[in-house]
Amino acid sequence: MKRCATCNQTYTDDLMFCLSDGTPLANLIEEVEQQTVIRPMPAVETLKSADSSGSIFKYIAAALGLLLILVLIGGAGMAWILWPRNGATPANSPAKNDLVNAAASPVPSPFRTSDNLNTNQSNLKDKEEALERERRRLADERKKLEDDKRLQTEKTELEPPRFNDPGTARISFRRGSVGETVSGTVGRSRSYVLRTLAGQYLSASIRSAGGCVVFSGGSSSTGFTTGSGDTRLTVENNCDRPSTFSMSLTVR
């Protein structure tokens, strides 16, 4: 049997060309043999490549293993060479340096520990004493502030109220009377006036608790001849707080 490679139609062996497109016919047996010969080639090459890669990996693994073994053997040899014999320590080994440093450092002793404890107790005692002094100082300052506040309060309570003396007051006699008595309170001084005639004689006296209030001349009584018009009398307080008084006067 033969087949057209273009239209895939089959013909008998006695034909040479395809009746449809004129393409030369090929035997089916030759095509199958050709395919059989061609197809196994990639598989064979792949197997060969895989075998070659596997061999390379095996060689590399073997080389690495050998190198690791050599490193371990070399390290063991160096350790055996450097390891001290009969308990001896190498000259520049860390163990020897540690021994030298330990020998050079001060050896702690019970006495040294006791000294440190005493020092700590002394420092603690000093701090406690400083705190106690500070506490006493604060207590003294607080007590002083309380005393100042109390004294200020007492002074405010004992201090007499401020008194403003009134202005000048006029004294008027009742009809037909030649005398009059007036009373009041004076802080420092205050004045009185009354109308008199020329040639009249005015006499006055003043009474107060403790004798605090007097006339401007310093006496508790006074007398003089008046002029025509307003005659003035001034009283003063010699005490440190306002005082009440009673003043009697006559004009003849």
Q: What is the pLDDT at residue 196?
A: 93
- Averages of pLDDT over runs of 10 residues in the chain (252 residues) are 84 83 78 50 50 69 86 82 60 55 56 71 90 93 91 70 86 91 94 94 94 93 94 94 94 92
What's the confidence (pLDDT) of residue 29?
63
Task: Say if CB 192 and CB 231 are below 8 A apart.
Answer: no
3-state secondary structure the chain: CEEECCCCCEECCCCCECCCCCCEEEEHHHHHHHHHHHCHHHHHHHHHHHHHHHHHHHHHHHHHHHHHHHHHHHHHHHHHHHCCCCCCCCCCCHHHHHHHHHHHCCCCCHHHHHHHHHHHHHHHHHHHHHHHHHHHHHHHHHHHHHHHHHHHHHHHHHCCCCCCCCCCEECCCCCCCCEEEEEEEECCEEEEEEEECCCCEEEEEEEEHHHCEEECCCCCEEEEECCCEEEEEEEEECCCCCEEEEEEEEEC
pLDDT of residue 12: 84
Q: What is the pTM of this model?
A: 0.38
Q: Are strands 169-170 and 189-196 parallel, antiparallel or unpaired?
A: parallel
Residue 119 pLDDT: 82
